[in-house]
Amino acid sequence: MSRRASLLLKEEQEQPEGSSKNKTARVRFPDELVFLDNIKENDVQAMDRMLRRASLKMDINSMSSSGMTALHQAVVDGNFQAVRLLIRHGADVNKTDEDTWTPLHAACANGHVDIARFLIQKGADKNIKNEDGERPIDLVDSSDFAMIKVVLE
């Protein structure tokens, strides 16, 4: 997907008789919307291009309309490449979403062991509690011994 997704609309432009020239209009989408779409589509190359662009007008830690940051979305989707890329570009590993979950809460709840391990290595706080008083370890499936080991180490 390009920097600004474009939907081309053809409009007849009034021209002198006999002319069939069309005017093309572009609809531009905000960088945040395009970026989140790239995450959902697992298009890490497009994400990387956007993040490298100096003119990008986007806060990597802002929340989308779904109440999650880009990092939360990548974690929920199990997109490890996107998680690494976002953290490399300054995503906050302890930022909470609208439900006061950190990315580590999401990784633990969704069973993404490698992502949880990486988040912890990058400074994710294992003891942050959400609004319900739950730490990330409290959201781990009791039979997921690999995740339990990662979070308790």
* pLDDT value of residue 55: 63
pLDDT of residue 9: 31
Cβ atoms < 10 Å from Cβ of 55: 7
Per residue in 85-105, pLDDT (tens digit) is 999 989 999 999 999 999 999
pLDDT at 22: 57
At 79 the pLDDT is: 92
pLDDT at 127 (0 to 100):
96
Residue 34 one-letter amino acid: V
**Kind of pairing between the strands at 6-12 and 22-28:** antiparallel
- Per-residue confidence (pLDDT) for residue 4, from 0 to 100: 35
Which residues of the chain, if any, have pLDDT below 70?
A: 1-23, 30, 54-56
- Tokens encoding 64: 């989308």
Q: Which domains does the chain have, with CATH numbers?
A: 30-152 (1.25.40.20)
Which pair of structure tokens corresponds to residue 34? 């395009």
Please give the pLDDT value at position 1: 40
**pLDDT value of position 119:** 98
Nearest to 96 by CA among 120, 126, 130, 65: 130
**Strand, helix or coil at 24?**
strand
DSSP state of 152: H
